[in-house]
Structure formats: C-alpha cells, structure tokens
A and B are shown apart, each in its own frame.
Chain A
Amino acid sequence: GAVVSQHPSRVICKSGTSVKIECRSLDFQATTMFWYRQFPKQSLMLMATSNEGSKATYEQGVEKDKFLINHASLTLSTLTVTSAHPEDSSFYICSASTGVDQPQHFGDGTRLSIL
C-alpha cells in the first residue's frame, strides 16, 4: 500500500517552456503533499507544502509564481515550472501524507533537464 506515482519520470525541453509534473496517491487519500527538489550531490530541499483545497505554502527562496502548485483533489497535486531555464534542471520529487504525524510516501521523482 501507500503508493505514490509521479509523472513524467523524465523531461527534456527547451528553455522558456513550461513543464507540468503530476503527483498521484494511488491507494490512499493524501491531505498533504510536498514538493522537493534535489540538485546533484545535494540534499532534498523542500520547496512547498500543499493541502488539498488550499493554497500551497512555499519555503523561503522559492518563487510561487515560478513554481505553480495545484492540489485540487485528495489524490492529485501538480507542480508547474513556468518558463523553465537551465538552472531549473533538477530532480523533482513529491511526497504524500494522510496528515500530521503520518509518514510521507515519496513518488519516484521527475528528472527535468532544460536545454
């Protein structure tokens, strides 16, 4: 149980393109979803926390207009990287949780490469 699916797993696109990444909880209802980013040889950094039906809470230094998060249902959250540039190339990972004090279940990540 507790499967989180992330799609796509790999994206390569040109600079200036907007990219949407989906995160789905397949067998549970996720009241909270998290978006992380991991640059090579660095730790996972939390970008934002989203609760179903409300606006996401962004971490300091993460531009909310650049990284649009939508959590419209208890099983789906999306992250849109708008007008992506090479410096946005990274490994983006989502996780989902049923609530406070509950473990986070991670998706298998999306490797984004902007040319």
Chain B
Amino acid sequence: RKEVEQDPGPFNVPEGATVAFNCTYSNSASQSFFWYRQDCRKEPKLLMSVYSSGNEDGRFTAQLNRASQYISLLIRDSKLSDSATYLCVGGTGGGNKLTFGTGTQLKVEL
C-alpha cells in the first residue's frame, strides 16, 4: 500500500465549478501535510499547508482529519489556470521528510 494515496483522475470540470480532491495517508507518524501543485513537466509548487482546524486561502480550502487519516482540498469557482496535477504530501521528521502522493490531475474546461 502506498504511503499517500490519491485518485489519479483526471477530473474534467467546467470553468466555475467546485471540485474536491481526497487523499489518505497510512503513516500515523506524519506530522504535517501539504497540497502542492505541479504543472506538466515542471517542479511542484506549494499551494497550502493543511491544518486540523481547516484552512482557507482564497478559493482553496484544505482539511485534515487525523482520526481517519484523510486530507481534502476544495477548489471553488475553478479557473482554466487551475488545470494542473495536485499532489498530496505528508511530512515527518519535523516536516522535513516529505512523502508525495502520485497526484490528482485536474482539467478545467470552457
């Protein structure tokens, strides 16, 4: 079983739609969690950290459920520029050692 699991997608949604991604992790020692965005053939870029209390950054909302070992990302009012692969990431060792999921691909269409 992979340490961080995600539905690979692709999720094809119309512009303006709300889309949710889920992720589960198996390492209970994971201390910190993140969502990264990776465009095709590019490096990953940090989208946001994920906290148990839930956190929001503009159109993006992330949630962590430690009991279920489950992380989510909600994107509201999708834009064409949101098209990318979204990577769920768990951190151990003070957050220094990152374990990446394989990513969920999002395609936002006109």
Contacts and interface: CB of A to CB of B under 8 A. Distances in A.
Interface of A: 6, 32, 34, 41-46, 49, 91, 93, 97, 100-104, 106-109, 111
Contacts of B66: none
B102 A100 contact: no
Contacts of B97: 46, 49
Given A106-B43, A106-B45, A100 B98 contact: no
A46 B93 CA distance: 14
Interface of B: 2, 4, 8, 41-46, 87, 93-103
Contacts of B103: 43
Nearest to A44: B100
Nearest to B103: A43
Contacts of A97: 96
B86 to A, nearest CB: 12
Contacts of B45: 106
Among A43, A103, A107, the most chain B Cβ lie within 10 Å of the Cβ of A43
B96 A49 contact: yes
Contacts of B95: 100-102
Contacts of A46: 97-99
Contacts of B102: 41-43
A104 B46 CA distance: 9
A96 B97 CA distance: 12
Contacts of B93: 100
Given A43-B4, A43-B100, A108-B43, 9 more contacts: A43-B102, A43-B103, A44-B100, A46-B98, A91-B41, A100-B96, A101-B95, A102-B95, A106-B43
